[in-house]
A and B are shown apart, each in its own frame.
Chain A
Amino acid sequence: MASAAVSAVAETSEPAASTGLARVLQAVTGRLVIIVPYLWLLFFFLAPFVIVFKISLSTTAIAMPPYTPAFSLDEGFAGLWSQLQELNFDNYLWLTDDPLYLNAYLSSVWIAGVSTLLALLVGYPIAYGMARAPVSLRPTLLMLVILPFWTSFLIRVYAWIGILKPEGLLNQLLLGLGVIDTPLVILNTHTAIFIGIVYSYLPFMILPLYSSLEKMDYSLIEAALDLGCRPITAFWKITFPLSLPGVIAGCMLVFIPAVGEFVIPDLLGGSQTLMIGKTLWNEFFANRDWPVSSAVAVILLLLLIVPIMIFQFAQARAQEQGR
């Protein structure tokens, strides 16, 4: 009666060796899912950082590649040890000696910080308005926020040149309206960078804000109003605290990339602006000083670790609360 079932079982398990092999093969195919992307990232993501770190410790040379390796395995491990003893932190000392770099770091953090704050001020009312919009309209509004992200970053920054330059559209408009007599100088100033960063990263600010505001239960506000709270107070006591995870996520998503930004300060900020991404680029392409640009990169990375950790921590907590 049950013979068919038994034979089906028997067939599959009988030649123990072949199932053993099959199982090994199975395990390997399963592991490939991990191994392939893992190796790729080790080779193309982690290894390059090790190289950056290594080169940041070597000395500049006029050659191709333009540096003398700090250590290599050519002389075996004994050689490696002696090389380690003579490790060269000159590039880092150089960075601390020359105020250019310190100023570049400070000004990057300052510009990114101010821009983040401005993006929050601009983005919050928009996200709030979207979250209060009729439910049927929300998906469309959301898509409209995401859409610019799909268009080229470079193009969006470029568009502002035409608007901000002295004979640009903004000045034409203001002069035409008689608001000003002489054209405003906006391009090649910090203001232009602020505008550029706020404009480019605004969707990153709006999206997390919107998602935390949208899922908020409106009856909480009603309860607060019912208990005698004025609308403004209700906003500060209820809405804003509950949207804090979104505020943190949005700020980090703007701040982190803004610190290392290159395109915006380069196109809108002019030659006077100091930002670390631009300094690295110049060090590398103009001065061809690979060791120093590597050291700049290492320090920039260290600088960003703290905000990245804050971001990850906030995300993890938001996920826990979501459960």
Chain B
Amino acid sequence: MNPTWSRFNITSVVLGFAFLYLPIVLLVVFSFNASRLVTVWGGFSIKWYGELFRNQGLMDAAWVTLRVGVISATVATVLGTLAALALTRYTRFRGRVLFSGMVFAPLVMPEVITGLSLLLLFVAIDLDRGFLTVTLAHITFSMCFVAVVVQSRLMSFDRSLEEAAMDLGAPPVKTFFQVTLPVIAPAVVSGWMLAFTLSLDDLVIASFASGPGATTLPMKIYSQVRLGVTPEINAACTLMIGIVAAGVLAASIVNKRREAQRQRDAQAALRA
């Protein structure tokens, strides 16, 4: 028997989601407020979006963030996938404990520590802080998240697929690119998306690792937020939420369709 979904259960879920979503919804709503006073409704307007696009500082920061995000997510995906392979495929090598520690530690490391330590490294090796250092910092912490995502996929990966490829004459590297990678591709893609989002979202580490000329969007937003809430920032936030939400929704719809198709196919195969 299935448990019943009691009124208490429904209420707690509904209230919980209201708590999770109401602040975001309010923020989005007030980005369309004509009034400069963020909390007083002055009619519908999209003028703040126009203001936003005329704000050169914000636009520059967005451009920096986007570039840092794409580059760091891509490099982090490569490194994180390698790390996941190393952890799942090589059960014993010298320093494995240290290695797995270094892969998992950044997941729970306070950002202030990661940021501070990276900054001190950049100073020690005399690397000027800017675009490069932010990117290096983002690669370092987001590769660990990629590694975790890819590793969990590799754990359930059927090794006999690789053995079959080798048995049929494909050398290891070819096997990786023709069989392993295509099969784990969804995990690698979600690893990339996660790394990209983390980079887009990061304020603390970027503040430490960045220098003049490489102000990211969260840094820009943060410095403006400290001065008070403005409709312009609401508009910027709404755009960011919209982009991410659209991406996540699209991905989940594609997934759902594929899953439904898969189920139909499987049923058709059974009938045949």
Contacts and interface: CB of A to CB of B under 8 A. Distances in A.
Asked if A and B form a direct contact in the complex, defined as CB atoms under 8 angstroms apart, the reply is: yes
Interface of A: 26, 29-30, 32-34, 36-38, 40-49, 51-52, 55, 65, 122-123, 125-126, 128-130, 132-135, 141, 143-145, 147-148, 150-156, 158-163, 165, 167-169, 172, 199, 202-203, 206, 218-219, 221-222, 256-257, 259-263, 267, 277, 280-281, 284-285, 290, 293-294, 297, 300-301, 304, 308, 311-312
A259 B109 CA distance: 10
Given A48-B121, A132-B9, A290-B120, A151 B79 contact: no
B19 to A, nearest CB: 7
Given A150-B248, A151-B244, A297-B116, A262 B111 contact: yes
Interface residues of B, number: 85
Contacts of B140: 40-41, 44-45
Given A158-B233, A260-B112, A34 B93 contact: yes
Given A47-B121, A147-B248, A284-B116, A130 B23 contact: no
B39 interface: yes
A62 B95 CA distance: 40
A23 to B, nearest CB: 12
Interface string B3-39: 1111011111101110111011011001000000011
B248 A126 contact: no
Contacts of B90: 33-34
B12 A125 contact: yes
A199 B98 CA distance: 34
Nearest to A163: B23
A42 B103 CA distance: 10
A37 B112 contact: no
Given A262-B112, A294-B120, A311-B108, A150 B244 contact: yes
A150 B241 CA distance: 8
Interface in B215-272: 218, 221-222, 225-226, 229, 233-234, 237, 240-241, 244-245, 247-248, 252
Contacts of B82: 32-34, 36-37
A112 to B, nearest CB: 11
Interface of B is mostly: helix
Given A141-B13, A151-B244, A154-B222, A263 B204 contact: yes
Given A51-B121, A129-B12, A277-B112, A40 B203 contact: no
B168 interface: no
Contacts of B116: 52, 280, 284, 293-294, 297
A304 B121 contact: no
Contact of A162 (B9, B27, B80, B118): B27
A48 B204 CA distance: 16
Given A51-B121, A129-B12, 5 more contacts: A40-B79, A55-B120, A162-B30, A300-B112, A312-B104
